[in-house]
């Protein structure tokens, strides 16, 4: 017998929620065939069969949250049939009456190709995804296929005309709608609760005049070197973290040490259909603005399409949350533990600015909020950190000097 267990498929993972099984008891499976889909706090992942065999038992139910190391499925290695099984099969074949009428072919036992989010849509509508005909590459079931199937199933059947009956008026009643608190939403809640109750959060607010930065970016675009402001934010934060490594660190209380990372892996807080997710842009300190801009677009698209790999969600040392395009002038973001800090970038507004010569001009002012772990860093250090970053934001020529 082989026990297929929930193994650690993500950094810091301790448990997962069972979304669905692709097999049932008695099924014969091949090596590497997906058996079950599990939702962790970061991704929906499939666990495959370690070798070929027959499913003898399923130990946990869909919707159940289980710890790492828990047995999910018990497999029996493939082998020759016992004599009694062979005899029984032979008798069954001998006694079977001849087929006289055509029957619909049995449904293929092959696994349906579909993204985890597509499967979720099917589950929420009570649809067996194997009944849906896929129109994507290789027969892959798309979101649109599921919605079309739902509409087809819910279409009213034509019935003979009958006398219209007007129902008696009923008194208005209040109603309450519900939505499932499962999957990524539940995992986000768990992680945020652990972070806020474990880390003593402090949030420092600051603002920067980014008028010169916006003008310089426009010049670069006209010269054929376009990049997003988000890419500039990430690059300059990496430079600032180099000068203040305490914010690019991780506290290990059990070992009694603070680990200062020499590399800079920036997490990009991204809003997706299933909830917040944080892909990680690795080695920002080694990349150019244009490289950062391109990789950020790729990671963001994958996050929104739920196509990120586990490796693309691991190893972050600092997180950036750019909510400026959505609006808002401030927030107190929750740290992505076990990291030490998170920088939230807020809306940029045109407003009056008093210059060093006491003159009033109109400029672009951006607000920011830095949440940090007060066990690791102090307020004065946080102010110095943001001041250094503001300098790079307000005068983009300094970036060129830093890279020489």
Q: Give Cβ neighbours of residue 246 (< 8 Å, ≥ 6 apart).
A: 258, 260, 340, 376, 377, 381
Euclidean distance between CA atoms 216 and 232, whole angstroms: 11
Euclidean distance between CA atoms 56 and 60, whole angstroms: 13
Q: Cβ-count burial of 111 within 10 angstroms (0-12 exposed, 13-18 middle, 19+ buried)?
A: middle
CA distance readout (Å), 90 to 99, 100, 125: 17, 21, 43
Whether the Cβ atoms of residue 120 and residue 306 lie closer than 8 Å to each other: no
Query: Would you name the residues annotated as active-site residues?
Result: 374
Measured at the alpha carbon of residue 185, what is the angle toward residues 179 and 189, in degrees to the nearest 5? Answer: 120
SS3 12: coil
Rounded to 5 degrees, φ, ψ at 30 are -100, 165
Q: Give Cβ neighbours of residue 284 (< 8 Å, ≥ 6 apart).
A: 234, 235, 237, 238, 264, 265, 266, 292
Burial 302-319, CB ≥16 within 10 A → b, else e: bbbebebeeebbbebbbb
């Amino acid at each position: 017998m082989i026990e297929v267990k929930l193994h650690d498929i993500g950094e810091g993972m301790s448990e997962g929620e069972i979304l669905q099984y692709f097999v049932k008891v008695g099924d014969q499976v091949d090596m590497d065939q997906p058996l079950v889909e599990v939702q962790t706090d970061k991704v929906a992942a499939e666990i495959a069969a370690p070798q070929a065999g027959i499913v003898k038992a399923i130990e946990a139910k869909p919707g159940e949250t289980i710890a790492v190391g828990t047995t999910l499925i018990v497999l029996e290695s493939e082998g020759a049939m016992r004599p009694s099984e062979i005899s029984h099969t032979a008798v069954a074949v001998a006694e079977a009456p001849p087929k006289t009428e055509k029957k619909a072919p049995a449904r293929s036992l092959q696994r349906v190709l579909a993204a985890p989010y597509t499967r979720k849509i099917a589950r929420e509508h009570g649809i067996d995804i194997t009944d849906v005909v896929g129109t994507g590459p290789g027969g892959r079931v798309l979101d649109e296929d599921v919605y079309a199937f739902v509409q087809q199933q819910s279409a009213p059947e034509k019935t003979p005309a009958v006398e219209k009956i007007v129902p008696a008026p009923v008194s208005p009643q209040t109603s309450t709608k519900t939505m499932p608190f499962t999957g990524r939403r539940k995992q986000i809640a768990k992680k945020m609760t652990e972070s806020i109750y474990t880390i003593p959060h402090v949030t420092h607010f600051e603002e920067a005049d980014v008028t010169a930065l916006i003008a310089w970016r426009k010049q670069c675009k006209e010269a054929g070197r376009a990049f997003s402001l988000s890419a500039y934010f990430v690059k300059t934060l990496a430079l600032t973290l180099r000068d203040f490594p305490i914010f690019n660190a991780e506290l290990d209380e059990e070992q009694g040490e603070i680990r200062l990372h020499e590399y800079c892996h920036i997490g990009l807080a991204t809003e997706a259909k299933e909830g917040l997710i944080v892909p990680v842009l690795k080695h920002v300190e080694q990349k150019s603005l244009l490289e950062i801009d391109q990789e950020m677009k790729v990671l963001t698209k994958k996050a929104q399409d739920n196509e990120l790999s586990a490796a693309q969600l691991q190893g972050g040392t600092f997180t950036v949350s750019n909510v400026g395009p959505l609006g808002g002038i401030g927030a107190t973001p929750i740290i992505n533990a076990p990291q030490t800090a998170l920088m939230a970038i807020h809306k940029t507004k045109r407003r009056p600015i008093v210059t060093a010569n006491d003159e009033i001009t109109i400029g672009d002012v951006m607000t920011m909020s830095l949440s940090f772990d007060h066990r690791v860093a102090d307020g004065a250090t946080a102010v110095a950190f943001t001041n250094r970053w503001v300098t790079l934001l307000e005068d983009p020529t300094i970036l060129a000097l830093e890279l020489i």
